[in-house]
Chains A and B, each alone.
Chain A
Amino acid sequence: DSGVTQTPKHLITATGQRVTLRCSPRSGDLSVYWYQQSLDQGLQFLIQYYNGEERAKGNILERFSAQQFPDLHSELNLSSLELGDSALYFCASSVGGYQETQYFGPGTRLLVL
């Protein structure tokens, strides 16, 4: 158990819909990272927040957005969903915001029908 929690564990929705994925970092960690892993694909870094501020951006689509709240939990919002958005979404956290060891949550499996 990494100490990072993600909800929900599974999510099934339809194309065009919007969903919100939630992540609670390990106690004391200030950074949260979001990754997408499509079927049989590697991990694609989406975005990083550090203490409420966006720190780094990866391959995140404009239809996707994220935020980190004052209590340091984070939400990833996915809108206008397409079939290709079906994937595992992982959240990770680290103590600081630069070249830190990341601890991953169990992931949210999203299925868009």
Chain B
Amino acid sequence: DAKTTQPPSMDCAEGRAANLPCNHSTISGNEYVYWYRQIHSQGPQYIIHGLKNNETNEMASLIITEDRKSSTLILPHATLRDTAVYYCIVIGNNDMRFGAGTRLTVKP
């Protein structure tokens, strides 16, 4: 079983922020939270990762709660091309288990 729990689907209006939640209540101190997305059947694309602190890059922001038991991926201005399955995974000790992810649909 995956170490993370995500809602199966979400909708977002184009131009608005998309906030994708992820629960990882059993995360260990040395495990990172990674986010990937998969558009159709293409290879998953790396988005962002973090350990304790919030992170931001050109694609997204990652907010990790202080207890590290959950996180939120924020796409600040979603576009139609952001429609994809988003995977939140916890990686530690070479244990890489992807869950079912969240299917984000961005609507015009």
- Using a CB–CB cutoff of 8 Å, the interface residues on chain A facing chain B are 2, 4, 33, 35, 37, 42-45, 48, 55-56, 58, 88, 90, 92, 97-99, 101-107, 109
A37 CA / B92 CA spacing, docked (Å): 21
> B43: which of A58, A98, A105 is its contact (CB, 8 Å)?
A105
Contact B92 A107 (CB under 8 A): no
Query: Given the known A-B contacts A58-B96, A98-B94, A99-B92, are A43 and B42 also in contact in the complex, defined by CB atoms under 8 Å?
Result: no
In the complex, the chain B residue whose C-beta lies closest to that of A43 is: B98
- Give the one of A42, A48, A90 with max B CB within 10 A: A42
Contact B44 A101 (CB under 8 A): no
In the complex, the chain B residue whose C-beta lies closest to that of A40 is: B100
Contact A45 B98 (CB under 8 A): yes
